[in-house]
Structure 1
Amino acid sequence: MAARFENRVLVLGAGSVSQCVLPLLIEHLVDAKQITIVDMRDNKPRMADAIAKGATYIQDQLTQENMDQFLSKYLSAGDFLLDLAWNIDANAIIGWAHDHGVIYLNTSIEEWDPYAAGATRNPTERTLYWRHMKLRKLTDTWGGKGPTAIVEHGANPGLVSHLTKKALVDIASKALKEGKAAKDVEDALVSENFAALSQKLNVKVIHIAERDTQISDKPKLVNEFVNTWSVEGFYEEGIAPAELGWGTHEKTLPQNAYEHPSGPKNQICIAQPGAKTWVRSWVPNMETTGMVIRHGEAFTISDHLTVWDNQKAIYRPTVHYAYCPTDAAVASMHELEMRQWNLTENQRIMNEEIIDGDDRLGVLLMGHAYKSWWTGSLLNIHDSRKLIPKQSATTVQVASAVYAAVAWAMANPNAGYRVPDQLPWQEVLAYAEKYWGGYHSEAANWDPLMHRNDLFKGWNNRKYDEADPWQFSNFLV
C-alpha cells in the first residue's frame, strides 16, 4: 500500500484514461480535494464522481504562449503534474516541472505540432527516437538530480517494460531448473543484468503483442472512427513512420528503411505509416497480424537490452509493437486511408456499449530455448468492470499502469528523469497486478514461419529465411 500524498495534483486532460485513473488515485493515493482537472473541453460529466468527492474541474487550455502562467496557477514545488493531454511539447513542460520542483508523469512524448512540415519532413524526424534524443539533450544536463519526471508510463509504453523483465526472469528460471541454461544465465539473473540475461538466453525478437477483441452493441457507422482509447492518439501514431528497435541479428534492412545518424542508433524507421505495416505475431492462444505502430517501448526496451563492447553494439533484440485493435478500429483505420488520412470529426471511444471481449496485451519474447514466451494480461470486459465500474479492459490496463507509476513517483519524489526501464520493475508491477487480472506468463511453441500460408509462394518473388525464422522479413505480412 502506497503512502498518501499530501500536496496538490494537477491532471491535464479529461479523456478516457483520465476518467479511469482518477478513482484509483482517490482510492489509494490522494484526497479528491487535492485534485484539479483541466481540459479545453467541457468534459465535466465524465468526471462527475471525482467532482462529487471534491475534485475541481476547470475548462481551460494550456498553450505554448501561456504555459508558465497556466501551470503556476495550479502548481508549486512538491506538487504533482499528471500529463494525460496531447500536443503539449514534452521538453517544454518537463523542463518547466524540473525548474519548479514539480513531480511529473506522462504516457507519451508529445510535440506542439506533430504534423508540422507534413510529408516534406524527413521520416527520421517524425519518429519517437527523434523526440527521445531532444529530451535526452535537455535531461542530460540535470545529472540525474531533481524532481521525479517519468515519461511514457501507461500500459504500453510503460508497464510492458517491466513485463519484459518478468518474462526474462521466468524464462531463465525455467531454463535453469530444466538444465537448459548455463551458469552465465544464472549470474545475469542474480545480478538482474537484463541486457546480459537477454543475450545469454538468445532472445532475438520482442513483440509488444496485443489483440483487442472487445465488441459493442453499437456498430461503427460509415465515416465514424471508433476505438477503445484516444482516437487522436491512435491517428497520430498510425500515420507516423513504422518504428522499431533493430536487432543485431538482422541481416537485411526492410524496403524504405532509414537509420538514425546519431545517438545510440538502436532504432530504424520505415517510410510508410505504421498502420500500413503489418507483421505476424501471437497472443494466447491465437496467431495475429498486428500493426508496427510506433511506440516508446520499442526505443527504451531495445536501448536497455543492448550489450556494448568498446562503443559497439554486439547484442540487441528487435523490438516493436504488433497491435491488432478491435474490429471497429481496424475498419476505422482502413476508412481513414480511404479518406487519404484526413481524420473524420465523427469519433467515438467504445466504453459502456461494449458487450464482450478482452484485451490481450503482453510481451512476446522469441528465439530462446522455448521458442516463444508471452507475458501479460488477458483482462476481459466483464472482469474490468468489476475492478473499475463503467470502464473497458483497455482503459483499466492503461489507467492502472499510470497509477502504478504515480504511486512510485509520489513515494520517490526526487529521483530525477526516468523512463519506465529505470524503475524497480517488481515494485511497479505489484501496484498494477490486481487491475491486470494477474500476469499470465507461459511458453509458446510458435514462430512466424509456422502455419504460414503464402497463397502465391514461388510466384511472387517473396523470400523467406528458413534458416533463421527470427528475421524481420519473415514476420512481415
Structure 2
Amino acid sequence: MLPLLFKHLEIHPEQITILTKDEEGLTITQEFGISLQLTTITEQNYLKVLANRLGKGDLLLNLSIDISSISLIRFCQQKEVLYLDLCIEPWAGFYDNSQVAPSARTNYLLRESALQLKSNKSTTAVLTHGANPGLVSHFVKQALLNMAHDNEISCSLPTTSAEWANLAMKLNIKAIHIAERDTQISNRPKKPGEFVNTWSANGFISEALQPAELGWGTHERHWPSDAGKHDHGQQGAIYLNRPGASVRVRSWTPGFGPFHGFLITHSESMSLADYLTLKDENQVSYRPTVHYAYLPCPLAELSLHELAGKEWQKQKNNVLMMDDIMTGTDELGVLLMGNKRGAYWYGSQLSIQEARQLAPHNNATTLQVAAGTLAGLLWLIEHPNKGLVEPEDLDFKYILDIATPYLGKVGGFYTDWTPLTHRESLFPENVDRTDPWQFINIRVG
C-alpha cells in the first residue's frame, strides 16, 4: 500500500502513523521513514488511543481485523475524520462465538448495522473498498455495459441503482459470481499447524468460519434445506447454517476454466444484490443471486482442509506468502450468468511477476487489494462530505481508471460453460435442467 500512496499523493512520511499490535511491517515502514507504533486497540481503549492522533480533515485507513468498523466510523464522523475500510469488522470474539445464533454472526447483520449510520450530512466514510469487496462492484458495472454493447442494447449510461438493475434484467442476468482463482505457488512447503495464504491468514480464517451467505435471486426455485432467512433489514440475502469454508460452488475463470470454489461470505454478496434489486409497489420483481466463489492458492486450500479437519480450531501459526512465491496468477473477476450469448467474466488477471514490477512489497493478491484501496482513498479525498457510502455508490469509471494500471490484464471473456456441463456423466445427480443458473446446480453436493 505504501508505494502507491507515495506515488499518488503529495504526502510526507511524518504525516503517516501506523498503529499495529506487532512488528510485522517494521522493515517496510523504516524504509519509508514512517512511524510505526505498537499498540493493541480494544473496545475499552480505542477512544483514548485515537483521540489525540486524529482531528478534523485527517484520514483513518482501517486495514485491521477485530476492531469494530462501526465504532470507528462513529468516532470519525464526530471528529470530521475521513474513513475507509476493506471489511465491516466487529470487535474480537464475534466470528467464533458459538453462544449466539448463526444469523447473528453474519455479514448481513454487520452491514445492516453499519447502514444505520447513513447520512448525507456527515464526513465521508467508505465501506469495504479493497478488491473484493470493492473493485468487483465496479467490474460488474463495466461488464453490464460491455454485454449491452455486445447484445446491441442501446442505453444511456445508468446513473442510479434502478437503472443498473433494469439493464441487468434486460440482459437476463440471473446470477453473479465473484469468481476468483489464485494459482500462486511458494518455494516452501506448508508445515502442519500453519495457515498459509497470499493475504491475511487471520482475515481469511474469520470469514471462512462465518456462515456462507449469498444474495438470493428472484429466479431461484429450490430453497436450500440448510438455509436461513433474516427477519429485518432489506432481506435480499440468505445464509446457510454451516461455515463458508465447508460449502463448495461451481464457477469459472478464463485462465483456469471450471472449478469448485468456496462460498465464503463477503459484503458485496449483499450490497450488489440490493443494488440490482427492482421493486414494483414494494414487491421485489427482480434480483440476481450474488455470491463469492473462491479457490485460493494451493497452500491456502490445504490450510483450509487442515482447519476443517481440526473442526475449525485455528492453526497456531500464520504465514503470509510474499518473497517465497515462484509463479502464479490471481484471476479476480465477476461472472455474469444468464445472457443468451453465454456467461461473461470480467476482471483482472495479475501474475506475480507483473505485481513485483508494478509495486514493491506486493504479491498479485495484495496488489489487487491495494489498487482498489488506493482508488477508494483518492475518491474519498475528493468527496469529503458524502456520509457513509458503499462501493456501488462511487463513480465506477473514476475507480477503474486509477486501479487498472495495477491489475495486469483486464478484460472480458464469454464462455459456453454452465454448471450443468459434463454433469451426471458418472452418477445421477439432483439437478434442474430447465435452468442451468439455479443455485441447486451451482452448489456442489
Q: TM-score range by the shorter chain?
A: over 0.9
1:16-415 alignment to 2 at 5 Å? 21-29=1-9, 30-48=11-29, 51-115=30-94, 118-137=97-116, 139-140=117-118, 142=119, 144-176=120-152, 181=153, 186-187=154-155, 189=157, 193-285=163-255, 286-415=257-386
Q: Distance in 2 between matches of 1:252 and 1:325?
A: 28
- In structure 2, do the counterparts of structure 1 residues 171 and 116 end up closer, same or farther at CA, with 3 Å as the change threshold? closer
Q: Secondary structure at the match of 2:66?
A: coil
Q: Distance in 2 between matches of 1:90 and 1:222?
A: 33
Which amino acid letter does the alignment assign opposite residue 212 of structure 2? A
Question: Which residue of structure 2 aligns with residue 17 of structure 1?
Answer: none
Contact 1:161 1:421 in 2 (8 A): yes
Contact 1:378 1:437 in 2 (8 A): yes
Q: Distance in 1 between matches of 2:441 and 2:76?
A: 44
Deviations 1:107-128 (A, max 9, x none): 0001113437733322211111
The alignment of Structure 1 onto Structure 2 pairs a total of residues equal to 440
Task: Tell me the CA shift for residue 188 of structure 1.
Answer: 6.1
**Unaligned residue ranges in structure 2 (runs of 5+):** none
Contact 1:188 1:196 in 2 (8 A): no
Which amino acid letter does the alignment assign opposite residue 243 of structure 2? P
Contact 1:356 1:382 in 2 (8 A): yes
- In structure 2, do the counterparts of structure 1 residues 80 and 172 end up closer, same or farther at CA, with 3 Å as the change threshold? same
Task: Tell me the CA shift for residue 442 of structure 1.
Answer: 2.0
Contact 2:96 2:209 in 1 (8 A): no
Q: Distance in 1 between matches of 2:159 and 2:64?
A: 38
Which amino acid letter does the alignment assign opposite residue 171 of structure 1? M
Q: Secondary structure at the match of 2:258?
A: strand
Contact 1:208 1:320 in 2 (8 A): yes
Q: Distance in 2 between matches of 1:352 and 1:453?
A: 43
Q: Secondary structure at the match of 1:446?
A: coil
Contact 2:181 2:297 in 1 (8 A): yes
Which amino acid letter does the alignment assign opposite residue 67 of structure 1? Y
TM-score between the two structures when normalised by the length of structure 1: 0.90
Bigger drift between 22-31 and 235-244 goes to 22-31
Task: Tell me the CA shift for residue 199 of structure 1.
Answer: 0.8
Task: Tell me the CA shift for residue 413 of structure 1.
Answer: 1.3
Q: Distance in 2 between matches of 1:127 and 1:168?
A: 29
Q: Distance in 1 between matches of 2:95 and 2:170?
A: 43
Contact 2:95 2:206 in 1 (8 A): no
Q: Distance in 1 between matches of 2:345 and 2:399?
A: 19
Bigger drift between 257-266 and 436-445 goes to 436-445
Contact 1:189 1:197 in 2 (8 A): no
Contact 2:143 2:346 in 1 (8 A): yes
Q: Distance in 1 between matches of 2:266 and 2:156?
A: 27
Task: Tell me the CA shift for residue 45 of structure 1.
Answer: 3.1
Contact 2:3 2:360 in 1 (8 A): no
Task: Tell me the CA shift for residue 46 of structure 1.
Answer: 4.0
Q: Distance in 1 between matches of 2:133 and 2:426?
A: 35
Runs of 4+ in 1 over 4 A off after TM superposition: 188-192
Task: Tell me the CA shift for residue 415 of structure 1.
Answer: 1.5
Q: Distance in 2 between matches of 1:117 and 1:280?
A: 27
Bigger drift between 297-306 and 432-441 goes to 432-441
Task: Tell me the CA shift for residue 340 of structure 1.
Answer: 1.6
Deviations 1:169-197 (A, max 9, x none): 00001111xxxx4xxxx346555621110
Q: Does residue 438 of structure 2 align to residue 468 of structure 1?
A: no
Q: Distance in 1 between matches of 2:138 and 2:96?
A: 36
Q: Distance in 1 between matches of 2:121 and 2:332?
A: 34
What is the alpha-carbon root mean square deviation over aligned residues? 1.5
Deviations 1:351-404 (A, max 9, x none): 100000100000000001212000001100111100012421000100111011
Q: Secondary structure at the match of 1:74?
A: coil
Task: Tell me the CA shift for residue 408 of structure 1.
Answer: 0.7
Q: Distance in 1 between matches of 2:392 and 2:348?
A: 19
TM-score between the two structures when normalised by the length of structure 2: 0.96
Give the share of equivalent positions with the same residue, in percent: 40
- In structure 2, do the counterparts of structure 1 residues 347 and 453 end up closer, same or farther at CA, with 3 Å as the change threshold? farther
